[in-house]
Structure 1
Amino acid sequence: MSQKVVVIFSGGMDSYTVLNLACKQGLEVYALSFDYGQRHKKELDYASKACLELGVQHKIVDISAINQLIGGSSLTSDIEVAEGHYAEDSMKTTVVPNRNMILLSMAVGYAVSIDATKVYYGAHSGDHAIYPDCRPEFVHKMNDVCAIANYEAVEIVTPYLDVSKIAILTAGLEMGLDYGKTWTCYNGREKACGKCGACQERLEAFANNNQTDPLDYE
């Protein structure tokens, strides 16, 4: 009997790679996506299609009411999304307060309820500068808590925590993944903007892999 795991799946490149990695490892995967009121809700459509194609059980949970408590991010509030690379201080406006702790807590609860032993999510080194809840120290502390928060210990697994998006794309391409089936842009328009930090990092990853991004850009 294969091991059950929960994968937090946004519909973006990183979590798409993690999802496929877990599937290829022969795990029984339960994908979990969240509608937290993000302006790029379009990513959830990509998540649904990807899970359907993979034959993975998938839940999309609406927690958008939480924005009454955690506003102030350009991803969830009426604030213009900054343009530029993640290295720029302006990208801190995309931080959603306590997001990953909230999402991980719910994913761990889901894992316990279905007898899954692990929760996977796609934090990577490119996120460390801007997002505190993607840094190794956060993951390690969350693992400590999740070992004792329930009668059943749940492990937080971050396969790409110490590598860049460039390396994640390299790994995904070696798996034969089609990244045209993912959405990265923080603006939820018809085409990706190509200017926000998420787009720029994605395009940089493709350039460094000598590949052309299959997504359409404005």
Structure 2
Amino acid sequence: MASKAIVLLSGGLDSAVAAAQAMADGFQAIALSFRYGQRHDREILAAQQVAVHFGIQDHLIVDVNLAQWGGSALTDAAIAVPTGGIQPDEIPSTYVPGRNTVFLAIALSLAEAKQADAIYLGINAVDYSGYPDCRPEFLEAFQHLAAVSSKAGIEGNAPKLVAPLVMDSKVDIVRRALQLEVPIALTWSCYQGKEQPCGVCDACRIRDRALIDAGCPTLATAQGRAFYALDPSKEWR
């Protein structure tokens, strides 16, 4: 029987690629998604569709309402969704306080209960370098925590945290998605929860530029194709 891996599946492109990588690495994937008080549930629908596509039978959706105290454009309607680009030296307003720490703590609990050997997550320190909980240092610290805070860790079997995309560019992630046959069209990156991606929020702009640069312009939004067709040198940040 294949070893098990917990995969944090948000519904976005990065998490879908992480799930595909876990299975390519020989693991039986157990998907874990969260309703954390985000402003829409479109990404949860995407996570469900991706899980079905990959044949993941065990998919848990956990409610943990971080919106009760807000503090992020993704959970607080009073904070505008950013459309002006990512500033390298600033933490974006889309950062959700403590989100990945909370998610990983629950994933660690699930991994112990399911006797999983690994936890895969699609965090990335390149395109979203302002997020403190998307850095290699965060992963290293949490790996140490897993080793000292769990029965499995005390016994020397703490689940390994695997972030295969942490130092990839967005273009590299798209290329890996193509290699692993990830259903890119099923994933959802937009900060808005409408029927179609808005094409103007920072997440859409980063995704669109990466898709275009990776040779997949038809998967980009119409707004993205029009924007970058005018000037291919435009930065998506």
Range of TM-score over shorter length? over 0.9
Q: Distance in 2 between matches of 1:155 and 1:174?
A: 24
Q: Distance in 1 between matches of 2:218 and 2:35?
A: 26
TM-score (normalised: structure 2): 0.85
Q: Distance in 1 between matches of 2:202 and 2:221?
A: 16
Q: Corresponding residue for 1:72?
A: 71
Q: How many residues align?
A: 216
Q: Distance in 2 between matches of 1:170 and 1:32?
A: 24
SS in 1 for 2:71: coil
Aligned residue identity for 1:171: R
Q: How far is 1:167 from its partner?
A: 0.5
Q: How far is 1:209 from its partner?
A: 0.6
SS in 2 for 1:31: strand
The Cα offsets for residues 36-60 of structure 1, whole Å up to 9 and x where unpaired, read as: 0111420110111111222212111
1:47-86 aligned at under 5 Å gives the runs: 47-56=47-56, 57-64=58-65, 66-69=66-69, 71-78=70-77, 79-86=79-86
1:24-103 aligned at under 5 Å gives the runs: 24-56=24-56, 57-64=58-65, 66-69=66-69, 71-78=70-77, 79-87=79-87, 92-103=92-103
Q: Corresponding residue for 1:143?
A: 143
SS in 2 for 1:6: strand
Structure 2, unmatched stretches of 5+, are 153-157, 224-237
TM-score (normalised: structure 1): 0.92
Q: Corresponding residue for 1:190?
A: 195
Structure-2 change in CA distance of 1:22 and 1:107 (3 Å): same
Aligned residue identity for 2:60: K
Contact 2:81–2:201 (Cα < 8 Å) also in 1: yes
Q: Distance in 1 between matches of 2:221 and 2:204?
A: 11
SS in 2 for 1:147: helix
Q: Percent same amino acid at aligned positions?
A: 36
SS in 1 for 2:151: coil
C-alpha RMSD of the superposition = 1.7
Structure-2 change in CA distance of 1:173 and 1:202 (3 Å): same
Which one is further off, 199-208 or 87-96?
A: 87-96
Q: Distance in 2 between matches of 1:134 and 1:50?
A: 22
Contact 1:34–1:60 (Cα < 8 Å) also in 2: yes
Structure with max Cα Rg = 2
Q: Distance in 1 between matches of 2:130 and 2:173?
A: 18
Is 1:157 the counterpart of 2:158? The answer is: no
Q: How far is 1:177 from its partner?
A: 2.4
